Amino acid sequence: MGMEGIGARVARKEDKRFITGAGRYTDDFVVPGMKFAAFVRSPHAHARIRGIDVEAARAMPGVIDVLTGPEMKTDGIGNIICGWMIHSKDGSPMKMGAWSPLATDTVRYVGDAVAIVVAETRGQARDAAEVVDVDYEELEAVILPEKAMDPGAPQVHPEAENNLIFDWVLGDEAAVEEAFGKAAHRVKLDILNNRLIPNAIEPRSAIGHYNKAEDHYTCYTTSQNPHVARLVMSAFYNVAPENKLRVIAPDVGGGFGSKIYIYPEEITCLWASKKTGVPVKWTADRSESFLTDAHARDHVTTAEIALDADHRITALRADTIANLGAYMSLFSSATPTYLYATLLSGQYEIPAIYCNVKAVYTHTCPVDAYRGAGRPEATYVVERLVETAARELGISPVELRRKNFIKSFPYQTPVIMNYDSGDFGALIDAATKAIDYDGFARRKEEAKARGKLRGIGMSCYIEACGIAPSAAVGSLGAGVGLWESAEIRVNAVGTVEVLTGAHSHGQGHETTFAQLVCDRFGLPMDNVSIVHGDTDKVQMGMGTYGSRSGPVGMSAIVKALDKVEAKAKKIAAHILEADEGDIVIENGECKVAGTDKTVPWFQLALAAYTAHNLPGGMEPGLKEGAFYDPTNFTFPSGCYICEVEVDPDTGKTEIVQFVAADDFGRVINPMIVEGQVHGGLAQGIGQALLEGAAYDRTTGQLVTGSYMDYTMPRADDLPSFQVPMTETICPGNPLGIKGCGEAGAIGSPPAVINAITDAIGNNDLSMPATPQKVWAALNAATRH
């Protein structure tokens, strides 16, 4: 590797503009003549709209227009889609209710958009939105997922009887029954996976601009996947034809999944721009973000494992109710199915697995993928069960895990996944060593002397990311392909632009993607630029989510680099009068191996563009593109160990040590990967200790609608992490890498809860483990 090549700790190029406040986010863009939008939102969880009177609002100062759902329908704007078809066990397709970007006759959650006001200033738009008079007939709401299917429960959509969207199964029920019948031990848990609110630093924002003279639309938006946004808005929402719509996702201040989806607001801003004749900008305030950014997780599960007399796990079954909220957003159906049940084998050889997922509607904000998406929920089920089993059997959690680990690869699980590589023993060795697992008993005694309860908990996760190949996901119901594209443009002076369909919103692509080019041609970092986030610049792409930009996006870059390298070698061989096979490209030069004959990279590029002296028949230029469709997911894995101290007087938990040992295959930039793990850990620990969305169970009001009530993790809630890494090369992609962007959020919650329950001696504890809950669980344990 060179100083800036693969494996180097290159500082993030993009941070200069981010940390000096010079990033350009959607709300920073000013389009000439631009006006401002505010949305009128439902104050009720469930109500019928009897009428909407916009006249008073229209008369307010600065108001340009007020537009409503029925007008949108008249203009033929389509309903919001869910892009992944799931079939119930009886073969019927999922029952999808209509989601109009602006509600037409019914509102289904607090925050549901009803009308858009466009005015000269943001303040005037908001003032006018206040006086839009919506005549609501309030209806009863259903809020809790476990109540959604009750007889007589309020119905969210007429299409979904009993609020059941699908009743889906995976695995072999009979084999699982048989294994449970023969089991020497059974371990059963009721498990809640708490609802989360994403809270990206930058709120969602959109500018819709219709240019009448050119009959062309531009949408600036906080998107993780601008090409998908363009595709969906054209093909399904009838907002604009694809060739007349440019979507720009500039700097985006964090997404974590919540900016994958095409929300009502960007569709409405584009449509409103055409209606009003002015560019329309909307930026959410924090309260709108809490209410309307897709929420996450929210599973109610009963799960059980069977073990034989030798402590081998013989079967696992899980029954889950997944709350999808009031509408089905883009990937909402994939998250609790193919991203969840397929990971229930964890790192273990479990011969029989069966999972049933009932997805339900409730009168709450739509729920969709958020960092980890389904895999944190699966890991939480498996790792809480395994740790509990060790406790109930009175054996070491390390030994129980080691005994059941999958030890040879490839390994076909009973739930679709074919794990390609891994070394779980090496990970548990690295983690136990880093935390000094054997010294825990001594540390516990020492803590006891200080009046503190010390506990240790483990979690061994496996993740499937870089979801692929397209044909396989298509056969499972996906409405899109999951390849990625790249183009390498060597300019005439030898500098390089990489155009990618991935989108960076914090992951450091401008650095890691450039490292591939530096590595390949020995060019300085400064000579390489990454272009992304604009459908007019980049031909096509599927965007960033599911930790795919490394394994899939970078592989497309590698493929395009291969083509550029091959052509460059042909040109160099021609200029140097040598054999193509003898050319090597390094340190910014093309050389004939073993001689002093060279041509500098910039001269070679120039030669490609002057085209004065190219091999016969060769096209001028040095620019190549590639599409890459992987052959499998990648399977990062890890062993996380958390050590806590609980204050028995207050129930407050302090994380005193946290080790995350991960295997991400070959690491391109260790510093960026460590940063990704740190961020994921903060989110996973946040879920375990602090975060949880709460709705009033009767009115459906979001009780945790601000940072006063929804606790985000802060620096002083987190320890200094230790992140040792092991490496098994991924055989499925040319770089041998596995995605790292979600691991921390997937592996950490069970480690934290396993540690706290160990400390307090009561296994009955749900997330978030707030001081109140921990104190109550501790005292319940002491009383018994």
Residue 742 touching ligand MCN (CB under 6 A): yes
CB of 21 to ligand MCN, least distance (A): 17
Question: Can you read off the two tokens belonging to residue 680?
Answer: 């994921």
Match 């040109």 to its residue by tokens: 571
What x/- string results for residues 56 through 95 when contact with ligand MCN is judged by CB under 6 A?
----------------------------------------
For 95, 244, 378, 403, the CA distances from 307, given in Å and listed in that order, are 37, 60, 19, 12
CB of 15 to ligand MCN, least distance (A): 11
Considering beta carbons, is residue 42 or 512 the nearer one to ligand MCN?
Answer: 512
Question: Can you read off the two tokens belonging to residue 500?
Answer: 């990618």
**3-class DSSP state for residue 695?**
strand
> Which residue blocks in 319-469 are alpha helix, DSSP H?
375-393, 397-404, 424-435, 440-449
Q: What span, in angstroms and rounded, lies between the C-alpha atoms of 484 and 549?
A: 8
Residues between 324 and 383 that touch ligand MCN (CB under 6 A) = 371
Of 546, 630, 651, 713, the one binding ligand MCN by CB under 6 A:
546
Of 234, 507, 726, 757, the one binding ligand MCN by CB under 6 A:
507
Residues whose CB is less than 8 angstroms from the CB of residue 425 and which lie 6 or more positions away in sequence, other chains included: 402, 405, 407
Sheet containing 313-323: order of strands: 164-171, 352-360, 313-323, 299-307, 185-193
Sign of the four-CA dihedral 580, 586, 587, 593: negative
Residue 741 touching ligand MCN (CB under 6 A): yes
Sheet containing 216-221: order of strands: 63-68, 113-119, 35-41, 280-283, 205-211, 216-221, 245-248
Considering beta carbons, is residue 260 or 417 the nearer one to ligand MCN?
Answer: 260
Residues between 103 and 132 that touch ligand MCN (CB under 6 A) = none
Residue 157 touching ligand MCN (CB under 6 A): no
Q: What span, in angstroms and rounded, lies between the C-alpha atoms of 378 and 345?
A: 9
Of 247, 607, 673, 725, the one binding ligand MCN by CB under 6 A:
673
Considering beta carbons, is residue 599 or 672 the nearer one to ligand MCN?
Answer: 672
Question: Can you read off the two tokens belonging to residue 228?
Answer: 């998908």
Of 203, 226, 250, 255, the one binding ligand MCN by CB under 6 A:
255
For residues 434-456, one letter each, b for 16 or more C-beta atoms within 10 angstroms of the residue's C-beta and e for the rest, the string is bbebeebeebbeebeeeebbbbb
Residues between 383 and 402 that touch ligand MCN (CB under 6 A) = none
Q: What span, in angstroms and rounded, lies between the C-alpha atoms of 170 and 693?
A: 29
Considering beta carbons, is residue 431 or 740 the nearer one to ligand MCN?
Answer: 740
Residue 525 touching ligand MCN (CB under 6 A): no
Residues whose CB is less than 8 angstroms from the CB of residue 437 and which lie 6 or more positions away in sequence, other chains included: 398, 431, 456, 641
Residues whose CB is less than 8 angstroms from the CB of residue 563 and which lie 6 or more positions away in sequence, other chains included: 488, 624, 626
Residue 744 touching ligand MCN (CB under 6 A): no
Considering beta carbons, is residue 198 or 208 the nearer one to ligand MCN?
Answer: 198
* H/E element, 423: none
Considering beta carbons, is residue 554 or 777 the nearer one to ligand MCN?
Answer: 554
Of 111, 455, 739, 768, the one binding ligand MCN by CB under 6 A:
739
Residue 592 touching ligand MCN (CB under 6 A): no
Considering beta carbons, is residue 8 or 125 the nearer one to ligand MCN?
Answer: 8
Rg (CA), the chain: 27
Q: What span, in angstroms and rounded, lies between the C-alpha atoms of 713 and 730?
A: 33
What x/- string results for residues 212 through 251 when contact with ligand MCN is judged by CB under 6 A?
----------------------------------------
Considering beta carbons, is residue 315 or 745 the nearer one to ligand MCN?
Answer: 745
Residues binding ligand MCN: number (CB under 6 A): 36
Query: What does 198-225 look like in DSSP terms, one character per residue?
Result: ---SSPPEEEEEEETTTTEEEEEE--S-
- Considering only the stretches 64-72, 98-106, 508-516, 641-649, report the one whose residues sit in contact with ligand MCN under the rule CB under 6 A: 508-516
Of 509, 520, 532, 559, the one binding ligand MCN by CB under 6 A:
509
Of 223, 379, 512, 653, the one binding ligand MCN by CB under 6 A:
512
CB of 508 to ligand MCN, least distance (A): 4
Q: In this chain, which residue has its C-beta nearest to ligand MCN?
A: 506
Half-sphere exposure of 377 (CA within 13 A, CB side): 35
Considering beta carbons, is residue 257 or 768 the nearer one to ligand MCN?
Answer: 257
Query: What does 111-141 look like in DSSP terms, one character per residue?
Result: T-EEEEEEESSHHHHHHHHHH-EEEEEE---
Of 667, 690, 752, 755, the one binding ligand MCN by CB under 6 A:
667
Considering beta carbons, is residue 167 or 420 the nearer one to ligand MCN?
Answer: 420
Residue 254 touching ligand MCN (CB under 6 A): yes
Residues that bind ligand MCN (CB under 6 A): 254-257, 371, 505-509, 512, 544-551, 554, 664-669, 672-673, 676, 679, 737-742
